[in-house]
Structure 1
């Protein structure tokens, strides 16, 4: 008998695929690729295929454990690439931090192999591929949701946030938040990976792409849009990179005086714009009140100083009018891990010795505040808080007409950080149908209307100036504001349904016999085997 051996099956795989070290490097590189879709490169279109190499790698893993490791290392690569600018503050500590957060993608890597890998030598069927096109994006969303917890770093760098300048995506944001955009971007990536690796399963992949395209078109055509209710003139003061708290305050004061007679309704200073407690420095408080009177508008400042009552350091937004502070102030609630406090300081306090981690924990606020100038209700956020969709949504529900984020990224002045941070305001505007002002000390300062579109020109990191923006106001509530985070709730339900179905099928498989029972053959004379020594008939 001749045996034919298919060399394609018998030939050993390339060492590049079988070597665990080379495969690990490939996983890190594949995970880092999506970072190019975010600012500063802002290759937003790349997001729709950037996950494909990572998907193909996890799919080809020889074992489930290896696929989980591919997901883990890819997640670490994504975290390092997206937040590489933190190196100046965290130094080598960024590596274990990225590995810790990257572990959130290990279940996703396992899920990719389980649904797209198939049995050895056998591609997954059409139903399994269809399930992958639904569940793999849901699994990605779970990783994003888990790391969005403020104590794990918050929702900075969600995949959907890379689409902040793509108008159709902003319309989707108003319907389902940034979570919906993340979900659909991963659907497209998964469909492309299927078309490359499993061409026989092109029908469900093409169907998924068609659903995404038609759904986006339907939202573009029929989703409601905010109705304009008026206009407000917002002035922003950006002093630039100035050394010393007193010199910075003096520069902000001079720039603000230039706004006199320009009809501003509100003047906004950046985060940490005042480094003196207003109670212990009444002279600073009087100068701010005089500025408000001279300009003819209230001034929103941010005080970053030790409290006179001895309750530690806090970052407090204060609205100053001609007679002094107006209404309640706002203390920053969600602090930057390691930048403004160290989680489990008794365990991780050593981070202060290897980087610029916080030497002292800032004091945390416990509630949000709506401020009023008499003609305008505004909702303040401080820096990092503009990354959280729930905070801006809560301010919109509370009656805020304008969202204001006071920020400072001067530590990361020549990195991707200022552009990444400024882009978040576009998403919060589209989600809530509220215009948003992103005011910084050193740039990038930007203003967006209620649909996430830019208003006027941005102030770059090289500018030291004051600028006035005509900001259109809008009323009503967006679908996302009304229905909340239904996108990731749906993802949880679908994953739970998939897990129940998997458990059910495995239980049935165990209960079923391995094959039909064989009936014993009665041993009669006619069935008696011929001994080998008997001669064959006909010989």
Structure 2
């Protein structure tokens, strides 16, 4: 065996932390190794628990968090270029409290009580970082660890109880138990109990929490025009492609036609020619069209992205303006300070104007007796926010529709990651969700989060009709909201309070005086 030289291993801990933090990205699309999420944090956590000092844990928690952000958002590099690195460094700071918890609770040889506490507090610490970075100004809730479970039916049922937050807690708890099994033999009993408890929780929810009860079905057509070459006529070419594909739906039973984000390049109140063409399409197909306008409004300054419903008689008056804009993509935060980002990447040259409130739209009743259906529109980035779809469900939306465009990231992991979010939002709310894009991936998910029909890949240019099951009732998540977040914060607050009381009750160390002079030392001094 070759001896490890002193100081050799610490020099490799920093790059190892970055690499270990990046590993969980493999659980998301495109790799979509959902099962890997339950062990993906183990290398990073083993590194943190062995940190020789708290300062070292802080550094490795920060570096691992930055590595995670870069890995999950690497497809932003063509747009942000080097700006992604300082952004990841900023967001990586959010994992420092979690890193200290891992070192404190999982380090050394934890007793059974401390190990049991770790199975609660370490997941809570991870969730704290996810909640903070879910703020729109910090990039929003993209890459939440629980979202990696979008294709697992038992996990989706769990999401209907506590949202994506409960899934994140579950995944980190299993990772924590694996760390105890590997590195802390004295704590194997609570570790096994923790894994068993997670399995029992999933089983109980699967057996006792009822799934959505479907009744009627809505025939929804998704129009995906595909890639249109950039140029002065690209907006009109995209509109014409959507028009052509929609016209091909004539003669099929359709209740709603959905176009992707930025599918219309002119304000419809100022462009009666475009509004007339859409109305004629609606009459020809026999269904209203939900299009998306990306244009400067005639009634005010600024560019808005708006979901607009058009019927055979023209504009219905239903319009929703996108509320949560993409940082740097649609506006530059603190533009006076960070406006230079437009010179090194594809940051927004002009800030879009945000909408004021969510909107629920009404579809007309069907001739066969199906009553009018209420739909809740979201635009692109907004499908990542659990609270927005929950709000629409509480307001009476029976169908959720997200209009998106990821054309700038066509050959990356972004389209698949974005489309997968529809499964989470559907499962959380018990409402089916249609994710319609310009260039793919377009997908439809039922009220349990299950996929309805095949998704439209990024290579497709087509229109497809989906039989979307509708469901009533209210999921526990819609009824009770983000209770896992509140529970995690309460657990962390209780832990901080207990540790604070212990530090107050701990007796202060006795002051150490100067060393006593020995007789031999005194004699030696006298001799000198």
TM-score, scaled relative to structure 1: 0.91
Matches within 5 A, 1:215-234: 215-234=201-220
2:320: which partner in 1? 330
Alpha-carbon distance in structure 2 between the residues aligned to 1:420 and 1:487: 24
Deviation at 1:12, TM superposition (A): 12
1:387: which partner in 2? 384
1:447: which partner in 2? 444
Alpha-carbon distance in structure 2 between the residues aligned to 1:473 and 1:406: 19
Are 2:159 and 1:159 aligned?
no
Matched position secondary structure for 2:317: coil
Structure (1 or 2) with the larger CA radius of gyration: 1
Are 2:403 and 1:413 aligned?
no
Matches within 5 A, 1:499-518: 499-510=496-507
2:161: which partner in 1? 175
Alpha-carbon distance in structure 2 between the residues aligned to 1:75 and 1:96: 12
Matched position secondary structure for 2:304: strand
Matches within 5 A, 1:51-90: 51-90=41-80
Paired residue for 2:16, among 11, 18, 26? 26
Divergent runs of 4+, >6 A? 511-514
Q: More displaced, 296-305 or 496-505?
A: 496-505
Deviation at 1:127, TM superposition (A): 1.3
Task: Indicate if the aligned counterparts of 2:444 and 2:453 stay in contact, CA closer than 8 A.
Answer: yes
Task: Indicate if the aligned counterparts of 1:370 and 1:378 stay in contact, CA closer than 8 A.
Answer: yes
Deviation at 1:279, TM superposition (A): 2.2
1:251: which partner in 2? 241
1:479: which partner in 2? 476
Deviation at 1:412, TM superposition (A): 0.1
Paired residue for 1:208, among 191, 194, 208? 194
Task: Indicate if the aligned counterparts of 1:234 and 1:267 stay in contact, CA closer than 8 A.
Answer: yes
Are 2:433 and 1:436 aligned?
yes
Deviation at 1:309, TM superposition (A): 2.9
Deviation at 1:20, TM superposition (A): 4.6
Paired residue for 2:494, among 494, 497, 518? 497
Alpha-carbon distance in structure 2 between the residues aligned to 1:370 and 1:412: 30
1:424: which partner in 2? 421
Matched position secondary structure for 2:291: strand
1:347/1:221 CA distance change after superposition, 3 Å: same
Task: Indicate if the aligned counterparts of 1:234 and 1:469 stay in contact, CA closer than 8 A.
Answer: yes
1:47: which partner in 2? 37
1:133: which partner in 2? 119
Paired residue for 1:92, among 82, 86, 89? 82
Alpha-carbon distance in structure 1 between the residues aligned to 2:274 and 2:25: 43
After superposition, the CA RMSD in angstroms is 1.6
1:16/1:461 CA distance change after superposition, 3 Å: farther
Matched position secondary structure for 1:311: coil
Deviation at 1:468, TM superposition (A): 0.2
Task: Indicate if the aligned counterparts of 1:65 and 1:110 stay in contact, CA closer than 8 A.
Answer: no
Task: Indicate if the aligned counterparts of 1:430 and 1:451 stay in contact, CA closer than 8 A.
Answer: yes
Matched position secondary structure for 1:240: coil
Deviation at 1:513, TM superposition (A): 8.4
Matched position secondary structure for 1:327: strand
Alpha-carbon distance in structure 1 between the residues aligned to 2:431 and 2:110: 46
Task: Indicate if the aligned counterparts of 1:272 and 1:304 stay in contact, CA closer than 8 A.
Answer: yes
Task: Indicate if the aligned counterparts of 2:42 and 2:179 stay in contact, CA closer than 8 A.
Answer: yes
Task: Indicate if the aligned counterparts of 2:267 and 2:296 stay in contact, CA closer than 8 A.
Answer: yes
Deviation at 1:124, TM superposition (A): 2.4
Task: Indicate if the aligned counterparts of 2:110 and 2:186 stay in contact, CA closer than 8 A.
Answer: no
1:4: which partner in 2? none
Q: C-alpha offsets along residues 364-385 of structure 1, whole Å, 9 cap, x if unaligned? A: 0010000111222100000000
Alpha-carbon distance in structure 2 between the residues aligned to 1:487 and 1:30: 26
Alpha-carbon distance in structure 1 between the residues aligned to 2:92 and 2:509: 40
Matched position secondary structure for 2:339: helix
Alpha-carbon distance in structure 2 between the residues aligned to 1:464 and 1:309: 34
Matched position secondary structure for 2:264: coil
2:268: which partner in 1? 278
2:456: which partner in 1? 459
Q: Could you list the runs of 5+ residues in structure 2 that have no partner in the other structure?
A: 365-371, 512-528
Matched position secondary structure for 1:232: strand
1:302/1:135 CA distance change after superposition, 3 Å: same
Deviation at 1:15, TM superposition (A): 5.2
Q: C-alpha offsets along residues 79-121 of structure 1, whole Å, 9 cap, x if unaligned? A: 0011100001000110000011111001111111111223xxx
Deviation at 1:215, TM superposition (A): 0.8
1:265: which partner in 2? 255
Deviation at 1:16, TM superposition (A): 8.9
Count of residues in Structure 1 that have an aligned counterpart in Structure 2: 500
Alpha-carbon distance in structure 2 between the residues aligned to 1:200 and 1:409: 50
Task: Indicate if the aligned counterparts of 2:222 and 2:258 stay in contact, CA closer than 8 A.
Answer: yes
Alpha-carbon distance in structure 2 between the residues aligned to 1:12 and 1:76: 33
Task: Indicate if the aligned counterparts of 2:116 and 2:191 stay in contact, CA closer than 8 A.
Answer: yes
2:397: which partner in 1? 400
